[in-house]
Every structure is written in C-alpha cells, then in structure tokens.
Structure 1
Amino acid sequence: MPEHTGLRFTLPAMRILENEHRYLSFLMEEWHELVLWYEQEPLALEEARTRLHKLRQAILEFVEPLKKHTGKEETHFFPLLGNYIGFEQGPLAGIQEEHREIDGYIGHFLHHSEGDIDQMTLEAIRSAVQDAGEAFEVLTVHFVKEETVIFPMGETQLSAKDKERLNKQLNTLIT
C-alpha cells in the first residue's frame, strides 16, 4: 500500500467512507459547474433548457452512489456508533437530519425537472436549479462535519471487534 494516499483516517472502515466522499465530491463538482452557469445574466432560454437536461442526467447518475453511501452509514455505521455516543441528540441526530435535507433538495429538483424540460420557463428552470445548488451546499458542509466529528469518533470510540465488523460491512461498492 502506498505511504501517502491522501486519506486522513487509519481505520479501514473510516477510510472507505472517506474515499466514498472523495468520489461523491468529484461527481458533485461536475454537476455543480452546471448549477453555477445559471447564476449569470442574462440567460438564454434554449441554452438553459439544454443545460438542464445535462444537469438532470448528472444528478440522476449521482443519486445512486449517494444513496448507497448514505445507506451504508445509516444501516451500519451510525447505529453502531450510536451505541457508544447515543442517538437522540448530538452529532448523529444532526447528521441524519442532513441526510433527509439532502434527499429533499435532490428530490425536489428531480420532481420539478421531470416532464418536458423544453416547455419549462426560465423562472421554473432557475427555481429547480436552485434546489440542486442547495443540495450541493448542504452536501459539502455535511461531508466536512462527518470527517471532522463523526469519523474521528468512529476511530476512537469503537471497540476493536466493532471496528473489524464495521469494516466488513462497509467494504462494498457504491458504483
């Protein structure tokens, strides 16, 4: 294994989650470029529609690995860590609420961009794209919170047996 991989964590399970964040961030940057295009003035309606098709496709391709990643966290990691630090309040409650918020923004974008995009007004397009931008912002901060608060807790709080079990549970692909 190379000496420097760019990953911060030593626990294999946390490295898996951290690496998935890197991949998801890469995908996010691709569609965020499209979101940023909509901030310019003035916008051409036909170009806005064309780019919305691309943005929708990019987010649809992003959703599957995101759901697999958050599913692994919510099914395996959070319940295990919650046994050590609690569930009802504190960082796990906030992180799980952010998962719901992200799902909401992405779901809202996908709902409002389905159908005949070529009939959408510029106002409707901008409104839908705003939800994609919000999803990007929440995801970016969310990943930082997990990597600075939750993942370090996983490295320090879990027993050796739980660390081993978690590694086996998380060692699956999100693509």
Structure 2
Amino acid sequence: MMQTLSREDQTVDTLDVLTSGIDQLKEEHAELKKKMADFYGAAKIMGRDPSVTDWSNAIKSLHTDIVSFMEEMEQHSVWEDQVLFPMVQEYTGKDMGPVAVMEHEHELAKMNVQRFLEKSESLSAAVSPEQAQEAASYLLQAYVILTDHFKKEEEVLFPLAEQMLTDIEQFFSL
C-alpha cells in the first residue's frame, strides 16, 4: 500500500533533512579542522630540521595523509554543493553572493593540494629540505584558504541557512 504525504508532511521531511545536514556539516567541520591542523603542523616544519637531509619519508607520509583528507573533504563537499549552496543561492544570488566566493575557495584549495600531490609524486628518492619546503608550501596555502573558508561557512552560511529554515517553518505554520 502506497502512502502519499501532504505538502506539509513533505515540507517537514525536507526541513528535517536540511537541519540534520547542517548539523552533520558542523560535526564534519570539527573533524576536518583537526586534520587540517595536523597537516599544517607537518607542512610547517617540513624541511626545517637541519639534521635531516632526506625528507622523502616525511613527504610520503604527508602525501598519504593528504589523500585521505581530500577524500573526506570531497564527501563533505557533496552535500554542500548539491543542497546547501543551491538553497542559499536562491536567496543571495548565484554570481555575486557568498556561495560564489566559497566555491572559488574550494577550487583554490583543491588546486594547491593538487600541486602538493603532483610535486610530492615527482620528487626523486632523496628529497632535499628545499624540495620538501616547496612541496609543503602548497599545503600551507591550502590551509589558509580552507581555514578562512570554514570560518565563512560557520559565521555566514550556516546561520543564513538556519534562518532560512526558521523562515520556512514559520511560513508553513501560518
């Protein structure tokens, strides 16, 4: 037997999905920011210890960590890109609003991470301090971009989305 939902029930279901999605993004931010702090710490000291002449193991380890981090970031971004960003764009505009800036930040961060991955993969068996620092510099840039990006999401986008949900709830409770 098939049950049909009223418009109000569908709206409640949609609001529940959006609310739980925003809550999930907030939780993921905490986890991702912890991992970002870890890779930032590793990138910051890369090539800086004068007693280390070969940084290949450190670069390989960081490479592995970054691949894992980026997989998590991609999963995190799916809901933002498919649901949250389009929902907010309906109210703020597509080309000039905060979402356009945040999408650009996504691309800049990905570009810097990709540069690190490419650089780290192209290094020879022995990695000099200078090579390690150059590769790590891309991650340092990505960290700055992502830190600012997450801050904007938490201070602008999430409150805006929550206000929109409140407005929708109030509209349908009339």
Tell me if both proteins adopt one fold, taking TM over 0.5 as the criterion. Answer: yes
The one-character-per-residue Cα deviations of 1:125-170 (angstroms, maximum 9, x if unpaired) are 2111100111111111111110000111100124249xxxxxxxxx
Matches within 5 A, 1:20-169: 20-38=28-46, 40=48, 42=50, 44-46=52-54, 48-115=55-122, 117-158=124-165, 159-160=168-169
* SS at structure 2 position matched to 1:113: helix
TM-score (norm 2): 0.78
| Structure number with larger C-alpha Rg | 2
Q: TM-score, normalised by structure 1?
A: 0.78
User: Structure 1 pair 122/40, CA: closer, same or farther in 2 (3 Å)?
Assistant: closer
Give, in whole Å, the separation in 2 of the partners of 1:74 and 1:38: 33
Kindly tell me: are residues 43 and 146 of structure 1, through their superposed partners in 2, closer, same or farther at Cα, counting changes over 3 Å?
Answer: farther
Matched residue, 1:16: 24
Structure 2 unpaired stretches of 5+: 1-18
**Alignment-mate amino acid for residue 79 of structure 2:** K
Instruction: Report the secondary structure of 2:131's partner residue.
Output: helix
SS of the residue 1:45 aligns to: coil
Which residue in 2 is equivalent to 1:4?
none
Structure 1 residue 80: Cα displacement:
1.5
8 Å contact 2:21–2:79 — kept in the other structure? Answer: no
Change (3 A) 1:41 1:30: closer
**Residues 93 and 43 (structure 1), Cα distance of their counterparts in 2 relative to 1, 3 Å cut:** farther
Structure 1 unaligned regions, length at least 5: 1-10, 162-175
Alignment length (residue pairs): 150
- Aligned partners of 1:153 and 1:99: how far apart in 2? 19
Determine the C-alpha separation between the residues in 2 that align with 1:57 and 1:71. 22
Aligned-residue CA RMSD (Å): 1.9
Q: Which runs of 4+ in 1 moved over 6 A?
A: none
Q: How far apart, in 1, do the equivalents of 2:25 and 2:86 lie?
A: 15
Structure 1 residue 35, shift from structure 2 partner: 1.0
Q: Which has the higher contact order (CA 8 A, sep 6+)?
A: 1
- Offset of 1:29 from its aligned partner? 2.0
